[in-house]
Amino acid sequence: MATVEFKASFEPGTLKAFAKNALKMKIDFSNTDKEHSYWCESDILAKAPLSLAHDMPLENGRIRIGILKPMASISKVVNLYTLPNNFPDNYSVKFTVYVYDDEGAIHERFDESSSIECSGNYPGVKDGVAKPQNNGL
């Protein structure tokens, strides 16, 4: 049974295609164990066009969550960015969460992912319909 629950949310909830975006990813961790405290940290993998840096591609990062006391929660905010080469699609952020016990050994390790939608029209397309082509007829 898992002792730590994980949830990620994004603000804003969608990205704009073909433009630089800045968003905040809120990560919530909850300890469901009634007796033990745990140290928690997470690796973050955000593949291009998502980036953990505002001015260059950065896919990998680590966030130190802290000590999760019994039946308590901690929230952290991570800034995410896009380069202007993003297309309409769903982009995924992957997490590897490490939960350490009081002896410093890994008590639990699990992988989670969360995704954010990138929406927008392709250049030259309005409301999902392509502009009519004039073939000289």
1-42 per-position pLDDT tens digit: 568 999 999 999 999 999 999 999 999 999 999 999 999 999
Q: What is the pTM of this model?
A: 0.81
* Tens-place pLDDT, residues 77-133: 999 999 888 899 999 999 999 999 989 999 999 999 999 999 986 655 555 444 445
Q: Report in angstroms the alpha-carbon separations of 112 from 12, 14, 19, 124, 135.
A: 21, 20, 27, 37, 51
Residue with the bigger pLDDT between 134 and 81: it is 81
| Residue 68 reports pLDDT greater than 80 | yes
DSSP code per residue over 53-106: SSSS---EEEEEEEEE-TT-EEEEEEEEEE-TT--SEEEEEEEEEEEE-TTSSE
> What average pLDDT does range 43-50 have in this prediction?
94
Q: Would you say residue 137 lies in a domain?
A: no
Identity of the amino acid at 117: E
**Structural domain of residue 87, as residue ranges?**
4-114
| Residue 136 reports pLDDT greater than 90 | no
Q: Would you say residue 24 lies in a domain?
A: yes
Q: Would you say residue 125 lies in a domain?
A: no
Q: In CATH, what number is assigned to the domain containing residue 17?
A: 2.60.40.1510
> What average pLDDT does range 56-66 have in this prediction?
94
Q: Residue 136 carries which DSSP code?
A: -
- How confident is the model at residue 116, as a pLDDT? 94
Residue with the bigger pLDDT between 52 and 83: it is 52
**How many structural domains are present in the chain?**
1
- Six-digit token pair at 84? 């202007």
- How confident is the model at residue 132, as a pLDDT? 47
Q: At which residue do the structure tokens 């898992």 appear?
A: 2
